[in-house]
A and B are shown apart, each in its own frame.
Chain A
């Protein structure tokens, strides 16, 4: 049974990726390009050491977004609010980090905790609305994402928390002093964020929390069946709230790799769209910490290798279409597999029933 699950768990994502490659190949052939050639160029460009570095750095952010989404999924929560939570975390992390001076390690720790708090508290709004008011977390989070972006855009105003550095068009927060910065380490002749290790730690903690603690058991139980968990003494609404906050806290970490090791300040140039990416990665990685890591790497790889398509005369946005189709195919694959399993189980139960009926005669 377990073997079966692992088999389907790997076959389905691979099938999804394959089908999306096929679809993109067709689009490329319509454009008059040779798909095999183009994929070869993409792969050789993507695995170039220089690009591997930025891919790893991007993977750090995507991985955290994926884990944040996965925690939500375990509770059947669709945390589309990762975007707003990540913004809140990165922004307030940057503001607090620039405002204080502390010894090196403590300073970084303070920024990390601030970011988690900001992300978690922002998610708590959606959690409260879900538990107390019965508001779907999808709708409230979509609205909260827009509101978070507006609040930060407002606070970044020049008279408030933002400054306009010389020779730059982008308003940003004050830079974090050296004591609050995180070093990078050399790999493939490039600078890899050491926040990557934090991300890996988060992944391990996620796995331990889920599989080895009572809290994780309660979480999974509530996700599988709200009523069953409740009647066996789990505070199910409370679990939903805590899970939402936890997911938001992890989402608050998403921007910190860039913040602590690269820009040292928050600006409007921080990218958006982490919510759907995180959800996609959690789906693709089947909520498993290792699976999410591979998915995150695949996503960063595709995005990094996309610009090379320009030289082949293909608009690089085709990669976005590719990501979208991967997500759709993976969800469809899971759904189909689940239905086949269900049918097999029903058939097995049916057989047993028939035999029992024969015996009783």
Chain B
């Protein structure tokens, strides 16, 4: 088990409420959070949002509860996809984000997302009845590629109908995936919608997860997602070696600057969760194909 993460805190324009959200997450013991920007092409806004600079939000990031290190904040983009043209895998706008997620709204798109699109997370809709059934093939395809599924719980706190959908859709997914490759995040808009990591591991039992997979859903599986994202951004299948000068504790899994180690895509590698993709060992900057 690694540190706890919540990879979905909804972005709000209101700076102070966003700050409070991140502070609360740190107090609850999350070591890493991601601010989520949702992008839907059908809406009036046609431009992919630009992530806010974390530095502008905090001069000093809040300290994780019971620890001496500050919380780590990532940016994430969720593309809501109702047509296959909505997601352009090479779009330069996507580069500003650490994590890329996709929310497919039809079975066909879900299958495509699982099998081909180069993303890190596939969101499972929790605000309405699932418009399609999960196919074991699609689900396994995604897990094999290291793409994880996400269930978010804030809607279940807000509304009792949504609660029913959340539980039903999550149970549906767990039946297909046996609880593997699943992360649980908040999608919270306000600090009071956040729950602690242990609360979530307990809640996940209702979704049919075991004690083990429930813990992984807020820790090591999230870690795999972050790793997968780092690999995707550094060009698939490229080993990136960067020089580490300060403490490792902060550096572990720190996002590698995409611009500095850009390299032509080589082999597509299967599970990005594999170890040593970003080796943080000494030596000068060097890139080499796997």
> Is the A/B pair a real complex?
no
